[in-house]
Amino acid sequence: MKSFKLLLLALLIVGCAPIRVSYDFEKTTNFSKYKTYQYYGDMKTGLSELDTKRLLDAIDSKMNALGIKVSETPDFLIDIKSAELHGAPGQTVGVGLGGGGGNVGGGISIGIPVGQSNVNRQITLDFVDEKGKGLFWQAISESSFNPSATPESREARLKSIVEKILTNYPPKN
């Protein structure tokens, strides 16, 4: 029971972290003609092999729910790229020193970082029609990333990211 509560707490924390997504697409695209897909064979996702499998499983599940199926003769191909982004620590402590006399003064101040730097992961999904339009839809997500997370929380996080990315696919005209 205790491990269940810890897993539930971890999923809640992971689920609350913001996932930011930006979209772009070719406005003349007829999205209704894209019913089958496949992944690029030489895709280098930038993720570990296990995380790549988790991500592909999440995409397959969501695409299936949208009525779009994997095929050996696809209407379009999916390319995935990702990168880790390291930010500055979220909090700092300021230390200052100053002095003066008469009409003259001076001071020095520094900020000391507290805690670890923020690690975010950016995942880019490209939908490419190699027989026609080329790149016709793209989503770029950015969210927090914990390199030491458990496999369960990694899977839950990747599912959340895919859900958020594909929420606006196909785009509404």
Q: Is the pLDDT of residue 8 over 50?
A: no
Kindly state whether residue 8 falls inside one of the protein's structural domains.
Answer: no
- DSSP code string of 37-54: EEE-TT---SS-HHHHHH
The verdict on residue 137 lying in a domain is: yes
* Window from 10-24, 26-40, 133-147, 154-168 with minimum mean pLDDT: 10-24
User: How much is the average pLDDT of 100-105?
Assistant: 66
- Domain holding 63, by residue range, is 17-86+116-168
- The total number of residues written for the chain in this structure: 173
- 106 contacts: CB under 8 Å, gap ≥ 6: 98, 99, 100
* β strands within 11-133, DSSP E: 19-25, 36-39, 69-70, 76-101, 104-129
Does any domain span residue 104?
A: no
In a domain, 73, yes or no: yes
Judge whether residue 106 has pLDDT over 90: no
Q: pTM for the full model?
A: 0.73
pLDDT in tens, 20-65: 999 999 999 999 999 999 999 888 999 999 999 999 999 999 999 9
Side by side, which strands form the sheet with 134-144? 19-25, 134-144, 104-129, 76-101, 36-39, 69-70
Q: Answer yes or no: is 97 within a domain.
A: no
Whether residue 102 is contained in a domain is answered as no
Q: Look at residue 4 and tell me if it is in a domain.
A: no
Q: What is the CATH number of the domain that holds 160?
A: 3.30.160.670
Examine residue 110 and state whether it is found in any structural domain, yes or no.
no
Which two structure tokens, joined as six digits, stand for 95?
């230390």
User: What pLDDT, on the 0 to 100 scale, is given for residue 85?
Assistant: 80
Number of compact structural domains in the chain:
1
Question: Which of 13-17, 40-44, 150-154 is least confident?
Answer: 13-17
